[in-house]
Amino acid sequence: MQASEIKVGNIIKFNGKLVKVTSRNHVQPGKGGAFVQLGLKSIENNNKYDHRFRVEENVDLISIYEEEAIFTYEQNGLFYFLNLSTTEEIVLDSNKLTENQIKLLQDGLNVMLLNCSEGYLGIKLPNNIELEVKYAPDFIKGQTAAPQEKRVETTSGLFIYTPQYVKTGDKIVVNSELEFIKRL
């Protein structure tokens, strides 16, 4: 695949390592040939790189497929998943998960494992995740005329901004970007 066809989110092989494309900028300078400036993040160790590719330069695009799995438990920085199609246990190191993913994982949560020819790259969380509110400050009526949000703590240790009507003990739904969706 040519460098000009690469999109943000693609996984490519760069200098023998798998990297995720985090940013892309096509540049047509006044003098010289066009190039594509890519922001790259290593899958292995989360190092970030910037690299310029000539537009016609070939790049190795890695095919990724998803496998349904259930998160079972975490121990010593290792996360254990049960692959539902093969019933094998998959172990991922914490550097293959984002900080938000780690905080949102709960026993029995259905996730998608991201797999390629090089092995498992990480996970994809469901769009909506149910959490319980551990602590929510009280709402003082008449504080302001405009709608206000408050910061609540969930039982998983996450802090989420919610509307004022959310109370301690409520169950709420958030998306994988940690945005409040609704109260149950």
- Ordered per-residue pLDDT tens for the chain, 184 residues: 888 888 888 888 888 888 888 899 988 888 888 899 999 988 777 788 899 988 888 888 888 888 999 999 999 989 999 999 888 999 998 878 878 888 888 888 899 998 888 788 888 888 888 888 999 888 766 666 566 788 898 888 888 888 888 888 999 998 877 888 888 8
pLDDT of residue 96: 81
pLDDT of residue 78: 93
- Measured CA to CA, the distance from residue 84 to residue 68 in angstroms comes to 6
DSSP-assigned letter for residue 58: B
pLDDT of residue 21: 87
pLDDT of residue 141: 66
Instruction: Give residues with Cβ within 8 angstroms of 84, minimum separation 6.
Output: 67, 68, 69, 70
pLDDT of residue 142: 62
pLDDT of residue 68: 93
pLDDT of residue 28: 86
- Ordered by where they begin, the domains of the chain are 3-61 (2.30.30.30), 65-124 (2.40.50.140), 128-183 (2.40.50.140)
The candidate with the shortest Cα–Cα distance to 44, out of 15, 74, 71, is 15
Give the sheet arrangement for strand 119-124, strand by strand: 89-93, 78-83, 65-75, 110-116, 119-124
